[in-house]
Every structure is written in C-alpha cells, then in structure tokens.
Chain A
Amino acid sequence: MSSISATDHPAEKAASKVIQPAWVRIVHWINAVAIILMIMSGWQIYNASPLFNFTFSRSITLGGWLGGALQWHFAAMWLLMINGLVYLTLGLVTGRFRKKLLPISASGVIDDTKAALAGKLSHADLTVYNQVQKLLYAGIIVVGILIVLSGLAIWKPVQLQWLTAVFGGYEVARYVHFFCMAAIVGFLVIHIALALLVPKSLRAMIIGK
C-alpha cells in the first residue's frame, strides 16, 4: 500500500486508469433503477393523502393507483435496501468512502464552489473528487440512510416503534421521508446535469475508464 506514492511505476499507472471499479458501477446502476422506481411509486402513494397543497402528475407516477404503487414501492424497496447494504459494506471495507469522500472542509467546499461557478474547476483527474463532489456524495449517502429508516418507521410504527419514536412519531416520519425524497430529487437534477456536462464521467460509470 505504501508504494501508492510511487506513481511513476508503469503497472500502477495502468491500474490507476480505472476510475470506477466494477462493483461501484454495478451497484450504481442497480441503485439508479431502484431509486427511480421508489420515487415514481412514492409520488403515487403521496397523491392518496398529500402532505402539501399539490399532487404529482399521473404521467410521472408509477402503479396507476394507490394499490399498484404500494406494490411497486414494497417490491423495489428490497432492491434498494439490499443493494444499499452491499454498497455501504463495500464502501467501508474497501476504504473507498475514506479515500474518496474524506476529508471535507467548509473552506474547501466554498473555494471549489467558487471555482466551479467561475468555470475553473479541473476535471483532469476523475479519480479525485473535488470538495463539492465530496460533500454531495457523502451527503446523499446520509440522506439515503435516512429515507430508508424513515420509510421503515412509517411502514412499521408498531413493531419498530422505537425507530418511529426516534423520528418524532409517525406523522413527523412521513415528513422526513418526503423531504429526503425532495433532497434526492434535487441531487439527481444536479448529478445528471453535471454527468452530461462532463461526459467522460458518465463513460467512467459505464465502462469504468
């Protein structure tokens, strides 16, 4: 491991060309499918008893009616949870989270945000995340954990009542679940826009390089 600093070694140069390892790409795209199914069916479920003064257009919801949406939601949740657990486990065990997402500093995030807005942020080395990326990717992992836990709190407010209580009760957990969804949708807008702006990052998530 200590030889990593010796970057002039040809074998390591070849290895460093892999930007996204296979396991990251696999869990990323499974997660992409799962989260889209969860969001679209979740919007249909929301429509049955809206928390706010709006509903989601049926053209962007999944399931057709409440019963169908619940079936999709409670099927896709297994895909999301199992895939998410694999991601968290491998992210911790391989040290990817520590290497890629830490450290994050407030000044670093501010500097990189300024650089990004000025169009001066470098994308020369996609294996290294800038401070804004680190914050967003670390943040969305936390939101991902929260949305699953708040979902479990809504689903099982009797059997998992301790969890529901942590969220401040059933009704509060519903709002937490909703705002986590809103955060993920906000993240997706930025994430997809930037992936399209820097196409080689999208290529790296598909073929690895």
Chain B
Amino acid sequence: MGRMRKLLIPGVDKQLLVKDATKLMPDFTRRRFIAGGASLGALTLLTGCDVTDSFSAESMLTQMSKFNDAVQAKLFNPNTLAPTFPESAITKPFPFNAYYALDDAPDVDGAAWKLEVRGLVENKKSWTLDELYKLPQEKQITRHICVEGWSAIGSWTGVRLSHFLQLIGADTKAKYVWFQCADMDGYNSPLDMPTALHPQTQMTFKFGDEILPRAYGFPMKIRVPTKLGFKNPKYVISMEVTNDYKGGYWEDQGYNSFSGS
C-alpha cells in the first residue's frame, strides 16, 4: 500500500513536492517589511504629515499590476491560438503541482460530483459527469507554463468552455467566469470572458487520453493554454458567470490577475 501511494505519480518525489509547496508560501512578514521599508510611512512619522497609504510601494505595485491587467487584455487576441505540439513532445512524467502534497489533494467521488452553475445564465441546472462526458470533446497538446517559470507539455481532452457557456445560455457579455474548486482552503479563480470564449479554453476530462487522474484535477479541470498554470483551476465544483471581480486564491495574494501568456 505504502509503496503504491509512493508510486501514485511516477517520478515525482513527495518530499520535494512538499518543499516546493512551502517554497511557494508567501512570507507576509518579509513582504510587509520590504513594502513598508520602501514606503513613505516612516517619513510621515517624522514629519507628522498625513501621507495616505496610497504612497506606499505596495499600493503602487498593486496599481501597476492592474495597469498590466489592462495592457494584457488589450494584447489578448481572441483568434491567436497557443502553439500545439506532437504527441512525442509530451512531458513525461507531467509534474504534479499545488500548494499541498498529492496525498492532500482533493479526492472527489465522481459518481456524487455535480458541476454547479450559477450567475448570469439561463439554465442553472447542475451537471453530472456522465452528462458532461456526452458533450463534444476535442484534444489539445499545449504547453503549460507555471508562474514559477517552469513549463511542461501535456495532452488535454474535453469540451470547449465556449460551447458549454452557449449550452447553458450564459450572458457572454458578462466580465468573468468565476471557478470554485474542491481544494482545501477553497481554491478559486476568475477568468475574463474573452479568454473563457477562446477556442482552446477547455473543460478538461482527460489527460493523455485517460480519465483525468486525481493529480491533475479529477473530475474536471479548466485548461487555459493562454494563461499561466494557476489560472487553470483543478477539481472544479462550480462556475459562476458574473460581472463582479470576486478575486482568487493566488490573485488575492498578489499574483497578477490576468496572467496571460
């Protein structure tokens, strides 16, 4: 049993995974120190001037990140496809990546799972896996690029998100599709509508022609080859079509929200 668990994802060392995950954890103390050190806060103490927080480096950086969101939205061409690759280019083993070890990854019961649909849609019925599997699927072999810098090429099969949004009568003039996941601490992430409607944005049910394994987000992952990896949520349990920016797990901690490739 122990050996089996160890081999769940061949070639991926669990100890390293945990190390990798902790490395990703934000060190808020240090972050605050750096932002605070670069702010005018210290000056206000000396002079008694009422300098608002908007002068701090941290809020300046947040403003720049929002500016970069806008620049990237302009740069995004809905007709530009992410490069595709031959089967031989697929990275093996494809890395498992999360802020927790694989043993702590959500273990979703596919038979009981239902995709919940909310927000600005005509039909809010929930979808079972069998119903979703019956929708037209297509395969893509594309490069997954992590915010950390590494990349890996994988093969994903599933339903075009744009097709599904059309099926449920979604208001495609809305700003976002917001995904919620089964991860511990409640992973979530917003996807801008132009990207949601991109032809390669996919509700993924298979990896490498096999039913999506637990490591890669069973039962459903959203594959977005025009975004960084953290904008490709796994273990998705609900989607909401909305005009509100509801934030996201990593986005709220400072990763750029658009994060387009």
* A residues at B contact (CB < 8 Å): 45-46, 48-49, 58, 62-68, 70-72, 74-75, 78, 154, 156-159, 161, 170-171, 174
How long is the Cα–Cα vector from A78 to B68 in the complex, in angstroms?
10
In the complex, B77 has a CB within 8 A of chain A: yes
Residue of chain B at shortest CB distance from A170? B151
Residue from B62, B149, B151 in contact with A45 in the complex, judged by beta carbons closer than 8 Å: B149
Chain A: minimal CB distance from B66 (Å): 11
A-B pairs, 5 with minimum CB distance: A67-B254, A75-B64, A64-B31, A49-B149, A48-B148
Residues of B within 8 A of A62 (CB): 34
| Cβ–Cβ < 8 Å partners of B26 in chain A | 64-65, 67-68
- Given the complex of chains A and B, what is the CA–CA distance between A72 and B254 in angstroms? 11
Contacting pair B83 A158 (CB below 8 A): yes
| Choice from A66, A68, A78, A154 contacting B34 with Cβ under 8 Å | A68
B55 within 8 A of A: no
Contact between A171 and B254, CB atoms less than 8 A apart: no
Known: A157-B83, A157-B261. 6 other contacts (CB 8 A): A58-B30, A68-B34, A68-B254, A74-B256, A154-B149, A170-B151
Assess whether A159 is in contact with B77, with CB atoms less than 8 Å apart: yes
Contacts of B255 in A (CB 8 A): 67, 70
| Contact yes or no, B27 A64, CB < 8 A | yes
Nearest B residue to A164, CB-CB: B83
Q: How far is the CA of A72 from the CA of B57 in the complex (A)?
A: 9
How far is A46 from B150 in the complex, measured between Cα atoms in Å?
Answer: 10
B64 — which chain A residues lie within 8 A by C-beta?
A: 71, 74-75, 78
Q: Is the interface of A mostly helix, strand, loop or mixed?
A: helix
B23 within 8 A of A: yes
Contact A71 B254 (CB under 8 A): yes
The answer to whether A158 touches B225, judged by C-beta atoms less than 8 angstroms apart, is yes
Evaluate contact between B31 and A68: CB separation under 8 angstroms.
yes
What residue of chain B has the Cβ atom nearest to residue A78's Cβ? B64
Bound Cα distance from A55 to B101, whole angstroms: 23
Contacts of A67 in B (CB 8 A): 26, 250, 253-255
Residue numbers in B under 8 Å from A66 (CB-CB): 24, 147-148
On whether A64 and B261 interact (CB within 8 A), knowing A48-B23, A48-B149, A158-B80, the answer reads: no
State the CA gap A70–B126 with chains docked (Å). Answer: 38
Shortest distance between the CB of A165 and any CB in chain B (Å): 8
Instruction: Closest A residue to B32 by CB, please name it.
Output: A64
A-B contact pairs, 5 of them (CB 8 A): A45-B149, A66-B24, A68-B26, A68-B31, A72-B61
Smallest CB separation, A122 vs chain B (Å): 42
Of A63, A68, A70, A74, the most chain B CB neighbours within 10 A belong to A68
Cβ contact within 8 Å between B256 and A70: yes
Contact B76 A171, beta carbon cutoff 8 Å: no
A74 with B65: in contact, given A157-B145, A174-B149 (CB under 8 Å)?
yes
B146, B254, B261: which contacts A158 (Cβ < 8 A)?
B261
B43: CB under 8 A from chain A? no
State A187–B254 Cα separation when bound (angstroms): 33
- Cβ contacts under 8 Å, B145 to chain A: 157, 170
Contact among B30, B62, B76 for A65, CB-based, below 8 A: B30
B250 touches A156 (CB 8 A): no
Which of A58, A70, A158 is the one whose CB lies under 8 Å from B226? A158
Q: Is B212 among interface residues, defined by CB-CB distance under 8 A?
A: no
Task: Name the contact of B260 in the complex, choosing from A48, A70, A159 (C-beta under 8 A).
Answer: A159
Q: Which residues 237-261 in B have Cβ within 8 Å of A in the complex? A: 250, 253-256, 260-261
Q: A75 contacts B148, CB within 8 Å?
A: no
Check: B60 CB closer than 8 A to any chain A CB.
yes
B82 engages A65 (CB within 8 Å): no
With both beta carbons as reference points, the residue of chain A lying nearest to B31 in the complex is identified as A64
Closest to A154 in B: B149
B191 → chain A, closest Cβ, in Å? 15
| A63 nearest CB neighbor, chain B only | B34
